[in-house]
Structure 1
Amino acid sequence: MRRSVRSLAAVAAVAALGLAACTGGTSSSSSSDAEQTYGPGALPTVTEGKLTVATSDPAYSPWILNNDPASGEGYESAVIYALAEELGYSADNVQWVRATFESSITPGAKDWDLNIQQFSITEERKNAVDFTSPYYTTSEAIIAKAGTPAANATSIADLKDVLIGVQAGTTSQQFASETLEPGLSQKLQMFNSSDDTVLALQTGRVDAIVVDLPTAFNMIATQVDNGVVVGQFADAQDGENYGIVLPKGSKLTPTVSAAVDSLAESGKLAELQEKWLNEAQNVPILK
């Protein structure tokens, strides 16, 4: 049976208070926080009565369609509006701003309450920002141009002589470096941005590129001429969790994370994934 955000937040708050009592520390949430009434003006947001959400510019499909987060179209946009409703905010009380990926996960003051742009949850990033529970778990995938040797790969071993490109500083780069590079005869090629990585594939500087699976579908639909998703990697299927980012120590974190849990428990996240990300079910796994 579905639990309410309030009851989920209360459980989190009680657990946090118990831990603080055992360690002599303090907690950023309290039972009174958990029992509050949600909705505009009730939560300590950057702008009173509004939920300010950051995303990238541009933002890409299938995460956000047509670079318009306010449309509610695309998985991440839809998740935010479902989350806002769970917290008692109408669509009119959600306002969007733009923020770069790197600036969003560095320490310091922020001008937003939440930030969603495919942030993988890592221990290192938790030192600088807060994360909610995961709203999506994905795998890494590889893209190539149809008709090339790379496009015919059916295993990781088949990629041994394939020159692979990846965006620097991403979890895709980390995955490729740790999982693929030891078996490659050539070094991975690093690029500064997603657009640079795609351009390298388009112009033949690399034979294939590694990105997360939903992004792979978007790239072959909108950016890579004659592109194909060669396959996904089994090693990443259970470990690539995306979470919504909040400023470090945000008083909103327990409440927002509980709301994400509620959306997962009710089946709403699965419903939105089926609507916006369902292509991911038919991609072969490379082992």
Structure 2
Amino acid sequence: MHLVNRTLVTALCSAVVVCTTLAGCAPQPEKKTSGADSTAKSCAPGGLATEVPGKLTVGTDKPAYAPWFADDEPSNGKGFESAVAYAVAKRLGYGRGSVVWQNVPFNSSFAPGVKKFDFDINQVSISDARRKAVAFSTGYYDVRQAVVALKSSKAAKAKNVADLKGAKLGAQVGTTSLDFINDLVKPTQRPAVYQKNDFAKSALKNGQVDAIVVDLPTAFYVTGSEVPEAEVVGQFPNSSSTPEQFGLVLDRESTITSCVSRAVDSLRKDGTVAALEKQWLSDAVGVPVLK
């Protein structure tokens, strides 16, 4: 009887040892990584899954218009969008020497298809329609559309949207400027549509249109430097409760969109974007709103 008990105790002790050993060797539950930690790791400075490893490829159109760029040279860091692009790149961990500029026509930047850039910056307004083909960062600039007319034109006397209905208006194809003409003004004459803003400005200067619609900073530049015989008639109110914003364009399947958005958000939060606006873009104060 004692022998049986001793055998049983020995067996039980052996089982405890085995169980303890197995428990010590068993895989422990992995520590869960929060979404923020995961994003932080994927956004490691200079370590993004970019088009060219170690480089950041940025697209924009040619010519690169002022005041968004200066001297038609995106890589010089001058002009609002050039400065913003380099600020975003720096926030992502890419110095100026690691930024590569690529010529991308305006309409191609947000057209369906695989992109060969990491992001494109070219006054592209964020919209649900465009989101079907590409991804956007959060907005880096709140924009208003404006009307520019020759000082001698009847359109220059417009006080509201209704005053523009009979005017011959023009805008660049594929832009929200053209959308404002068609959806808000609804002119009695078919608007003139141009492949580039340069053509629209030439048409204005030559009297082929009564007025053109462009974003407000461009309107200031046109009247101040390119067509001094024209003036900014007014700006349109936002068509919805959400302001129109320019966003950086990315491939629809881009894995770095959230990282780019974080960079844009941080630049807006710390005042960098506001400082660049003040440096490169004209103030909208005093421009009447056409209602």
Instruction: Please tell me the TM-score bracket, short chain as reference.
Output: 0.7 to 0.9
User: Mind listing any 5+ residue stretches in structure 2 that lack a counterpart?
Assistant: 1-32
Could you say which residue in structure 2 is the equivalent of 1:257?
A: 261
- Matches for 1:187-206 after TM superposition, within 5 Å: 187-206=190-209
* Structure 1 position 87 matched with structure 2 position 92: yes
CA contact (8 A) 2:140 2:264 kept: yes
1:208 to 192, 204, 211: 211
Secondary structure, aligned partner of 2:82: helix
By how many angstroms is 1:33 displaced?
4.3
Report the Cα distance in structure 2 between the residues aligned to 1:34 and 1:179, rounded to whole angstroms. 43
Measured after TM superposition, the shift of residue 76 of structure 1 is: 0.4
Q: CA deviation at 1:140?
A: 0.7
Matched, 1:244 2:252: no
Query: How many angstroms apart in 2 are the aligned matches of 1:55 and 1:286?
Result: 31
Aligned to 1:98: 103
Aligned partners of 1:85, 1:282: CA distance in 2, in Å? 35
Residue 228 (structure 2) pairs with residue 222 (structure 1): no
Q: Distance in 2 between matches of 1:264 and 1:37?
A: 18
Counterpart mapping for 1:69-84 below 5 A: 69-84=74-89
Q: Deviations over 1:223-258 (max 9, x none)?
A: 324111111011348532110011111111011111
Q: Give runs of aligned pairs for residues 125-164 of structure 1, distance below 5 A.
A: 125-164=130-169
Counterpart among 276, 279, 283 of residue 280 in structure 2? 276
Q: Could you tell me whether the CA contact under 8 Å between 1:168 and 1:193 is conserved in 2?
A: yes
Listed one character per residue, the Cα deviations across residues 3-28 of structure 1 (whole Å, up to 9, x for unaligned) are xxxxxxx98x45xxxxxxxxxxxxxx
Question: What residue number does 2:19 align with?
Answer: none
Partners in 1 of 2:210 and 2:198 — Cα distance? 16
Report if aligned partners of 1:231, 1:283 keep a CA contact under 8 Å in 2: yes
CA distance in structure 2 between the aligned counterparts of 1:108 and 1:164, rounded to whole angstroms: 32
Contact 1:130 1:247 in 2 (8 A): yes
Which segment is superposed worse, 269-278 or 157-166? 157-166
Match of 1:39 in 2: 45
Larger radius of gyration: 2
- Kindly state the Cα deviation for residue 94 of structure 1 after the two structures are TM-superposed: 1.2
Is the partner of 1:35 in helix, strand or coil?
helix
Which AA in structure 2 matches 1:160?
A: K
User: If the length of structure 1 is used for normalisation, what is the TM-score?
Assistant: 0.84
Q: Bigger shift: 227-236 or 246-255?
A: 227-236
Deviation per residue, 1:71-114 (Å, 9 max, x gap): 11111011111111211221111111111112211222222111
Amino acid at match of 2:121: I
| Greater CA drift, 115-124 or 213-222 | 213-222
> How high is the sequence identity, in percent, across the aligned residues?
42
CA distance in 1, matches of 2:246, 2:113: 21
Segments of structure 1 that go 5 or more residues without pairing to the other structure are: 1-9, 15-30
Quote the RMSD (CA, aligned, Å): 1.9
**In the alignment, is the contact (CA less than 8 A) between 1:139 and 1:236 conserved in 2?**
no
The structure whose RCO (Cα within 8 Å, separation 6+) is larger is 1
Residues 126-146 of structure 1, C-alpha deviations (whole Å, 9 max, x = no match): 111110000001111000111
Q: Distance in 2 between matches of 1:193 and 1:199?
A: 10
**AA of the residue aligned to 2:272:** K
Q: Is the 8 A contact 1:189 1:206 kept in 2?
A: yes
The count of residues paired between Structure 1 and Structure 2 equals 258
Deviations 1:166-215 (A, max 9, x none): 2222111111101001xx34332223321221222112111111111111
